[in-house]
Chain A
């Protein structure tokens, strides 16, 4: 059972370009979370998705950022018109359907976005 797969691992974009980050959850997991990690900081929650639904996007910037988790295929975090401040590591996590609050999330290795 492969773990959470994120690609690309490293992404360089010029200011104003679009960045697309992909996340394939673990097999059998239908819940996906995106987090952003800035240098010397912990992970900040961005968005929580289930298949075809956004459950909680309270951590998403209001502009330029969007996320989706289609019925088929990976979850996509999209950043339009990137700026230098978007440079960070973006982590995806997945968890199975489970009402227990102690269910852990499994993390991918992250995508390190650099905006030049």
Chain B
């Protein structure tokens, strides 16, 4: 079975400083990985997804993630945090065939301090 572990439940950064949200996955085969963001009382929006075409994946709003098979990691980064980045971020893995359900990590709450 697939699973993801988000290593930090809460990350706090100052505006303009880098963001690092950590995620490790467990899968018996090459996984499909995603990062979603959830703003307060809103739905979920896809930030980026790993397609196996490239290990460094660029997403929306300046976010990117690097797939590292040797470390079973898919950490989310952004060079410079903005106040509007404050939200809940979920690392997500999908099963080994199309349309199987997404499996969510517990989430990391990102706070951005002015």
Contact = CB atoms under 8 A, between A and B. Distances in A.
Are A and B physically bound partners?
yes
Q: In which size bucket is the chain A interface?
A: 20 to 34
Contacts of B95: 101
A100 B49 CA distance: 12
Between B44, B51, B103, the greatest number of chain A beta carbons within 10 A of the residue's beta carbon is seen for B44
Main secondary structure of the interface of B (DSSP, over half): loop
Nearest to B36: A107
Contacts of B41: 112
A45 B98 contact: no
Interface of B: 32, 34, 36, 41-46, 49-52, 90, 94-107
Given A45-B104, A59-B101, A110-B43, 4 more contacts: A44-B104, A95-B99, A104-B46, A107-B45
Q: Closest 4 CB pairs between A and B?
A: A99-B98, A109-B43, A42-B104, A107-B44
Interface of A: 4, 31, 33, 35, 41-45, 48, 56, 59, 91, 93, 95, 97-110, 112
